Amino acid sequence: MPRPVPELQRYYWKGNRTDQQRRSGHVWAFSQEEAFRQLQQNLTSIHLIRPNPPTRLTRFLNRARSQDITHIIQQLAIMLNAGLPIVQALLLIATQFPRFGGKVILLYTHHALMNGSSVTDALKQSSSAFHGLYGDMLHAGEMSGKIAETLAQIADYREKKALLRAKILKAATYPLIVLLSAVSLTILMLTKVIPEFAGMFQHMHAELPWLTRQVLNLAGLLQIWGTRIIWFTATSIFLLKTFSHRFILIPSVTDILLLKIPLFGTLRTKAIMIRCCRTLATCYDCGIPLLDSLKSARNIAGSLVYQTALENILEQVSAGSSLHAAIQNSHCFPEFVTQMVLIGEESGTLGQVLTKVATQYEHDVDQLIEQLGELLEPLLILLLGGLVGGLVIAMYLPVFNLMQVMG
């Protein structure tokens, strides 16, 4: 029976190395005695060793990030494939890992293994990142004696998942920055610049052009209601985020609308296809049962529409239906996916076929992001120029009219 894992602590030390020069630093251990034993391996004498817990800010800045977890898994897979025992591999990676958030995960895993836990349980105890899908994959790999291959598959899966997220973020960042700049510049002109012109126009005692009157009215409304509009918008967003899960209709409608936006909806759909197919393929290749693989795909779909569809597929497969027939009956997945799954089922290469489907959609996403960039750049420039240019024209029209009258 594995013993419970104690809390890992940081200790500050001072001592001499073999060159007799005084050194100091930090070491992580589960007790002061263990810290002393670790330091004895590299120091000739130890003058001081005391607990030195990091501050909350230091812990936050040095927490284990997603890429750190991926890096740990990659290194473990490489060392295990090279024949190194996992206990030794964990300590070797921990001594060289830059962030102590990663060190904590590695040392917790090592301690749990030394106290009788399985590899899967040890990793689950060390970090919540190994729960769910990754925990199931590790358990299947450990039972089949292919833990190194499973770790390599998990690392590859996480890398591709992070790459997809980065591509989508890149596609959305530029339009958002331009739109925010356009809105900010428009608000600045309406609240700061245009009111200065309004005072000047009052002394002209002449009828203003229609466009100028509308812009001045809008500027006046913003000055009166601007703060209230901002508070109302912020409060509405907060309430929607906080309570939308209680009203299933709100996220469902939002999800459907997001999937129907031209180009961006297509990009979102293809990203969902990649996640679902890649997850099913990885789980299938690790030896996880199909029903459990479908549950994992459902959990990471990232869309209520497709989560519902995968839930229906899961029920049909549980009732004895083939996977391709269940996918076809869902009416959510493209015909290409249905046909490829049928080929994979009949040939006994479902994992390979799903991997190829995910790869094909990754190429499609790359092309779509490139097309979006080429299309949105001129449109956004026109939008920004139109907003600013329209405001400038509205302000200078009365001046031009006055010059004509004076002429």
Predicted local confidence at residue 393, as pLDDT: 83
Pair 271, 317 in one domain = yes
Closest by CA position to 304, among listed 254, 264, 261, 260: 254
Taking the C-alpha atoms of residue 31 and residue 273, their distance in angstroms, rounded to an integer, is 48
Looking at the structure, tell me whether residues 164 and 147 fall in a common domain: no
Residue 54 near residue 62, CB atoms below 8 Å? yes
* 339-397 tens-digit pLDDT: 999 999 999 899 899 999 999 999 998 888 888 878 887 888 888 888 888 888 887 77
Assess if residue 82 is contained within a domain. Answer: yes
Per-residue exposure over 170-184, b if at least 16 CB sit within 10 Å of its own CB, e if not: ebeeebeebeeebee
Does residue 141 register a pLDDT over 50?
Answer: yes
Which range in 153-157, 189-193, 212-216 is most confidently predicted, on average pLDDT? 153-157
Which of 128, 153, 178 is a domain's end point? 153
Q: Within this chain, do residues 201 and 293 fall inside the same structural domain, yes or no?
A: yes
Backbone angles phi, psi at 186, to 5 degrees: -65, -45
CATH number at 138 reads 1.20.81.30
- Domain of residue 300 covers 154-407
Residue/partner pairs of 122-129 with CB below 8 Å, 24 or more apart? 125/5, 127/64, 127/69, 129/64, 129/66, 129/69
Residues 127 and 30 in one domain: no
Same domain, 321 and 393: yes
Percent of the chain with pLDDT over 70: 92
Q: For residue 131, is it within any domain?
A: yes
Look at residue 332 and tell me if it is in a domain: yes
Answer yes or no: is 223 within a domain.
yes
Q: Does residue 1 lie in a domain region? A: no
Task: Specify the pLDDT at position 242.
Answer: 73
- Asked if 27 and 70 sit in the same domain, the reply is no
pLDDT (average), residues 235-257? 71
Which residue did the predictor score with more confidence, 21 or 360?
Answer: 360
Residue ending a domain, among 122, 153, 184, is: 153
Distance CA 249, CA 262 (A): 22
Q: Is residue 360 part of a domain?
A: yes
- Long-range contacts of 340-346, Cβ-Cβ distance < 8 Å, separation of 24 or more: none
- Which range (3-7, 46-50, 77-81, 195-199) has the least confidence? 3-7
- Per the structure, the count of domains in the chain is 3
Mean pLDDT, to the nearest integer, of 190-208? 72
Helical packing angle, 147-188 and 66-81, nearest 10° = 160
Q: Are residues 317 and 300 in the same domain?
A: yes
Q: Report which DSSP code applies to 245.
A: G
In this structure, are 207 and 131 located in the same domain? no
- In this predicted structure, what is the pLDDT of residue 304? 87
Closest listed residue to residue 174, CA positions, set 375, 309, 405, 315: 375
Which of 39-43, 168-172, 197-201 shows the lowest mean pLDDT across its residues?
A: 197-201
pLDDT digits (tens, 9 = 90+) for 168-186: 888 778 888 888 888 888 8
Is 4 contained in some domain? no
Half-sphere exposure of 386 (CA within 13 A, CB side): 7
pLDDT tens for residues 271-280?
Answer: 999 999 999 9
Q: Supply the pTM of this predicted model.
A: 0.73
Q: How confident is the model at residue 1 (pLDDT cuts 50, 70, 90)?
A: very low
Task: Answer yes or no: is 3 within a domain.
Answer: no
In this model, does residue 3 exceed pLDDT 60? no
Which amino acid is it at 346? Answer: E
Map tokens 């907060």 to a residue: 238
- Alpha helices for 45-146 (secondary structure H): 56-61, 66-81, 86-96, 100-114, 119-126, 133-143
d(CA 90, CA 268): 38
Residues 181, 325, single domain; the answer is: yes
Cα–Cα separations (whole angstroms), residue 302 to 28, 131, 165, 355, 366: 38, 18, 12, 19, 20
Q: Are residues 159 and 288 in the same domain?
A: yes
Confidence of residue 252 (pLDDT cuts 50, 70, 90): confident
Q: State the Cα–Cα distance between residues 304 and 254, nearest whole angstrom.
A: 9
Residues 106 and 43 in one domain: no
If one compares 359 and 191, the residue with the highest pLDDT of the two is: 359
Q: Label residue 235 by pLDDT band (50, 70, 90).
A: confident
Q: For 64-119, what is each residue's pLDDT tens digit? A: 888 999 999 999 999 999 999 999 999 888 878 878 788 888 988 988 898 888 99
- Joined together, the tokens standing for residue 130 give 């190994």
| Whether residue 30 is found in the same domain as residue 159 | no
pLDDT value, residue 219: 82
Give me the chain's average pLDDT, please. 83
Which of 153, 179, 213 is the last residue in one of the domains?
A: 153
Give the pLDDT score at 249: 57
